[in-house]
Every structure is written in structure tokens, then in C-alpha cells.
Amino acid sequence: MKINPPAASPKSDTPAMAAGRRASGCLVPILADQLTISLASLEAADPATSVVLMAEVQAEATYIRHHKKKIIFLFAAMRHFAAELREAGWRVDYVALDDPANTQTLGSEAARALTRHGLGHVVVTHPGEFRVLVDMESWPDRFGVEVDILPDDRFLCLTRDFNAWAKDKKQLRMEFFYRDMRRQTGLLMNGEEPEGGQWNFDADNRRPPAGNLGVPDQLRIEPDEITRQVIALVEERFADHFGAAEPFWFAVTAGQAWTAFERFLAESLPRFGTYQDAMLVGEGFLFHAVIGLYLNAGLLDPLKVCQAAEAEYRAGRAPLNSVEGFIRQILGWREFIRGTYWLNMPGYEHSNFLGAGRDLPWFYWSGETDMACIGAVVRQTAQEAYAHHIQRLMITGNFALIAGIEPRQVHEWYLAVYADAYEWVEMPNVLGMSLFADGGKLASKPYAASGNYINRMSDYCSRCAYDVDMKTGPSACPFNYLYWDFLARNREKLGRNPRLATAYRSYDKLPELRRQAIAASATVFLDGL
């Protein structure tokens, strides 16, 4: 038995589709992050003769011990999507977690369903994680069936197009990819020119928080009976996983997710850009969209989301710096990150350019630390399975980078704790952007910063046991001396990076006594972790 090679267009990838027909008599497994009615595999299969398989399995919930809210979100959204598929005329075989016959892995559930329904052909959409792809590629031999793995055309740049773009380029940089994507989609374009005469308005997007910002509330969806059953199941079966199960207020259908997104468009998008990098205690969401979990599970379509944001700008309801900034995250970063993942897998997961080897401190799970910034982000993460980009990058990520925490452990933490985390998006963000563990494949320099940056962009430091103005000693903000110590420790690997030249020059100008005090403070702190 064989895996059919992909054809030129995703919608013509099965032999039947290439001949203008839908494939008949197939099993169509739908994974938890494939909850899209126009999914390639659903469009490729004949609903009259095919069976959709959806399975809640222990192996996927525990290979990384996901946050309770993430599991609730996925199982509840899966159950609602199964109902939607049935209404649309599909025959859906849904295996619940507590079904006594459930064998608790995706592969063995596919095998059981093939036998149960007497089918010999699987049509599936490309999964978002390499290990799942490897498993699916073994199905022809293991189960004696034909398997078509169709490209996931919910992304705006197909993997093969990204690979073609990346080919022969010495360095891959998001900015150039993003410009090509703007031209290709026509988003925020004025003929051949970028709207507003500039591709990127990031310089306008770094305002610190000041005064009462009047942050809008999130739309909180009341769980229905289906979701309440899932909450009870997860509370019972995954009681020892990280995070709070309730209150649970995420959208679990495409319709609800769109309503939540419309609330963002009306209430937050106008200030999204300006305060994109700001952080405030008790305001975890600020003006962010909180849609990563919906986009990644397939409940929202990235192109429609970008078009709706552009319409706000064209109607004069949102400024260009906000709308461009928002579209860049989705059209630029999200697609670029995914391309980077598949371009570098397998192997990317072992990245450790800086040779960092310290264990992840326990306070990443408990939030119990005197560092107010980390405590606030970890507690918010435990409560909401959410932190915004700068919290992930410049607080927990920055600390892990400058403290030299082992990349694999940091990656596993991020994959577990955020409701929007899947390997394709989490891994390059963590290993590439945050930890520089890939040696610069994704980012041109490490995002290392001292307490000064955190103090400028947040209100954390005014509530901290450490003093952000002190540079060394037991009362000094640990980010201050760890920042310099990180540069000193990694000079061999980073010393020639042109974007760090100013930082190294500043370090070299420090008096010798000061450099000794930095090293001593860092040693004491890191030994105490």
C-alpha cells in the first residue's frame, strides 16, 4: 500500500479529485485542530459513502500534559463540530475519551474505524505536528490501506510554496516574506504600493501603558450542556494537569469565535497597534485579539480575519498602524513561523545553539517567585491558558534565555500551557524567536533585555520585591545582571553578531569591578534556582 504523492493543487491531490470527482468510500480522520468545514479532506471525500472519524484520545492529551482549559476547549469544540458535520450530511464516527472501547491513540483509533466500517482508503489533511505526520505515514504498512495526505490549504502560504520561496536564500527574514504575501493577497495594497506608503508601522506600536486605558472586557461565552460535560470529564481525568478549568469562557464553535472576533474589531483593534507591547498587572488581554486558539483549531479563517480588519481601516474605524500591525502578525509572522517549522523538521526540535542546560525552575509551574513580572505572567497563564506575545517573549522567554534554561524544557512548557499551542507554531517561536537556539534561522538577534525594558513597558516593577534600578547585589532586579552575564557567557557564539555590537561595546566599557559584581550576582542567583 502507498501514500499518494501530492499533486499541483491541494484540491486535486487525490486521484479521484484530479479526475474531477470526490473520493468515495474513505475514512476521513479530523484532528482536534482541523475543525474547518471547508477542510481539504472534507472537500475531497464523498459524504454519501465516506465516514468522518473524530477521536478524543489520552495519548494526545498527555504526551505533553496540556493545560486543562486547552483540553476542554479542544474536546468541546470537537463535539460541537461533529454535530455541525452531521447536520451537513456527514456520517461521523465520534469516539469520546471515556468510551470503553477507545484505544486512546490516533493511529489505533483509525485502525479500529477502518475495520468497523470496512474501509481501505484514508483521506486526511496534513497534520500540524511532525510526529503525527510520521505516524500517519506508517498507516499504509501498518494497516494495509491507501493513505492520501492533502496539503492544509487553510494556510495562506502552502508548505511547498514556502520551501520554494526559501530555496537558495542565505537568510530568511519575515519582513521580505510578508511583503510578498501582501502583494500576493492584495491586503492593504494600493495598486503596487503598500497602503500608507510604508510596509511596516512598528515604530508607532511601542507605547508604554499610561493612565487608565479603559481596556474592554473579553466576550465570555457561557458553556452549554456539551461543554459542561467536557469540563466535568477533564476535571476528573486530568485533575493533575496545570491550570484552572474554570471559569471556562472560550468560544467552541466557528460562529461564537467570529462573534468574539467582531467584539475585538469594534472595541480593541483601534488601539491594538499602539499598545501591542504593553503589559499590565490584572489586564492580561489588553487590546489583543485572543484568537490564536480559534485560528489554530480551524474555527476562524486567517484570510477572512485579515480582510475584516482591513475593512475597519477602509471604513475609517481603525488606524493604519493598528490594522497593519494586526495583519502582519497573521499574514506575516504566523505563515512565516509555520514555513520555518516544516522547512527545518525533523531536527529543529534538538536546537541548542547556545548550549543552554539549566533545568526549568519550578516557579514556571507554581508562579511562586519574588520576580513580580514572572509571577504575574505564570499566574495569568495558569488561570487563562493565555499570555500575549510580549509577555511570552520578554518575560518568561527572556528569563529562560538569559538564565540559560535548556531549550527542550522551555519548549515543552510553552506547548503545554497555552490554549493556542501546537508544535508548528510554538516550536519556532520558542526555539527560534525567544531562545535563539536555532542560531539565527528565524531571528537576527536574541531578544534579551534587562529590567529597564520591562519597567518601561509594564507596571510590574512597582510591585516587585527586587529593585529595578539596582544593577547588582541581592536586592537588584535579576534581569539586570543576568542580561550582561548572558552576553559575557555567550561571547564566543554571539560576539560577532552585528546587532549586538553596541551591547558588547557597552559591556566592555563597564569597569572591571562592575563586571565582577555582575558575574558574582549571576552565579549566586543561578545557583539558587
Asked if residue 32 binds ligand DLZ (CB under 6 A), the reply is: yes
132's contact among ligand SF4, ligand FAD, ligand DLZ, none, with CB below 5 to 8 A by partner kind, is ligand DLZ
Report if residue 388 touches ligand FAD, rule: CB under 6 A: yes
Which contacts of 442-445 are long-range, i.e. CB under 8 A and separated by 24 or more positions? 442/172, 442/337, 442/340, 444/171, 444/173, 444/497, 444/499, 445/497, 445/499, 445/500
Query: Residue 447: helix, strand or coil by DSSP?
Result: coil
Residue 419's nearest CA partner among 69, 151, 110 is 69
Q: Which of 40, 55, 401, 449 binds ligand DLZ (CB under 6 A)?
A: 55
Asked if residue 66 binds ligand DLZ (CB under 6 A), the reply is: yes
Q: How far is CA 54 from the centre of its chain?
A: 23
Which one, 172 or 360, has the nearer CB to ligand SF4? 360
The verdict on 329 binding ligand FAD (CB under 6 A) reads yes
Q: Is 70 in the site for ligand FAD (CB under 6 A)?
A: no
Residue 183, all three cell numbers: 502583494
Which residues ranging from 427 to 486 are in contact with ligand FAD (CB under 6 A)? Answer: 429-430, 433-434
206 lies in the site for ligand FAD, by CB under 6 A: no
CA distance 520 to 472: 9
Angle (deg, nearest 10), helices 501-509 and 478-489: 110
| 400 sits near ligand DLZ (criterion: CB under 6 A) | no
For ligand FAD, the binding residues in 346-365 under the rule CB under 6 A are: none
Grid coordinates standing for 67?
A: 493545560
- Helices and strands of the chain, counted as H and E runs: 27, 8
**CB 352 to ligand DLZ: min, Å:** 23
Q: Are 422 and 154 in contact (CB under 8 A)?
A: no
Choose, by CB under 6 A, the member of 85, 157, 187, 372 that binds ligand SF4: 372
Cα Rg of the chain (Å, integer): 24
Contact partner, 260, from ligand FAD, ligand DLZ, ligand SF4, none, Cβ < 5-8 Å per class:
none
Residue 10 contacts ligand DLZ per CB under 6 A:
no
Map the footprint of ligand FAD across residues 269-308, applying CB under 6 A: 288-292, 295-296
Distance CA 74, CA 364 (A): 24
Considering only residues 447 through 476, tell me which ones interact with ligand SF4, judged by CB under 6 A.
451, 454-455, 460-461, 464, 466, 468
The contact pattern for ligand DLZ, residues 129-158, with x = CB under 6 A and - = no contact, is: x--x--------------------------
420 binds ligand FAD (CB under 6 A): yes
What, of ligand FAD, ligand DLZ, ligand SF4, none, does residue 427 touch, CB below 5 to 8 Å by kind? none
Q: State in angstroms the smallest separation of the CB of 188 from ligand SF4.
A: 35
Contact region with ligand FAD (CB under 6 A), list: 195-203, 371-379, 384-392, 505-513: 384-392
DSSP-assigned states of every residue in 182-221: HHHH-TTEETTEEGGG-S--GGGS-PPP-S---PPPPP-P
Grid cell at residue 459: 507596571
* Residue 421 touches which of ligand DLZ, ligand SF4, ligand FAD, none (Cβ within 5-8 Å per kind): ligand FAD
For residue 128, state whether it binds ligand DLZ (rule: CB under 6 A): yes
- Transcribe 135-161 into DSSP letters: HHHTHHHHH--EEEEE--TTSSS-HHH
Q: What is the 3-state secondary structure (H, E, C) of 325-368?
A: HHHHHHHHHHHHHHHHHHHHCCCHHHCCCCCCCECCCCHHHHCC
**Stretch near ligand DLZ under the rule CB under 6 A, chosen from 53-61, 185-193, 346-354, 367-375:** 53-61
User: Nearer Cβ to ligand FAD, position 215 or 433?
Assistant: 433
Angle at 226 (CA atoms; ends 220, 230), nearest 5 degrees:
85
What span, in angstroms and rounded, lies between the C-alpha atoms of 455 and 468? Answer: 7
Report, in Å, the least distance between residue 362 CB and ligand DLZ: 24
What cell does 364 get? 514556571
Please check whether residue 201 is in contact with residue 325, taking contact to mean a CB–CB distance below 8 angstroms.
yes
Q: Compute CA distances 129 → 155, 330, 345, whole Å.
A: 15, 19, 10
Task: Kindly tell me which residue out of 26, 27, 33, 395 binds ligand DLZ, with binding defined by CB under 6 A.
Answer: 33
In the complex, minimum distance from the CB of residue 169 to ligand DLZ, in angstroms, rounded to a whole number: 27
Nearer residue to ligand DLZ within complex by CB, 60 or 335: 60
Among 231, 373, 417, 425, binds ligand SF4 (CB under 6 A): 373
> Which residues are at the interface with ligand DLZ (CB under 6 A)?
31-33, 55-57, 60-61, 66, 71, 74, 106, 127-129, 132, 422
> Which residues are at the interface with ligand FAD (CB under 6 A)?
288-292, 295-296, 329-330, 333-334, 337, 388-389, 392-393, 397, 414, 418, 420-421, 425-426, 429-430, 433-434
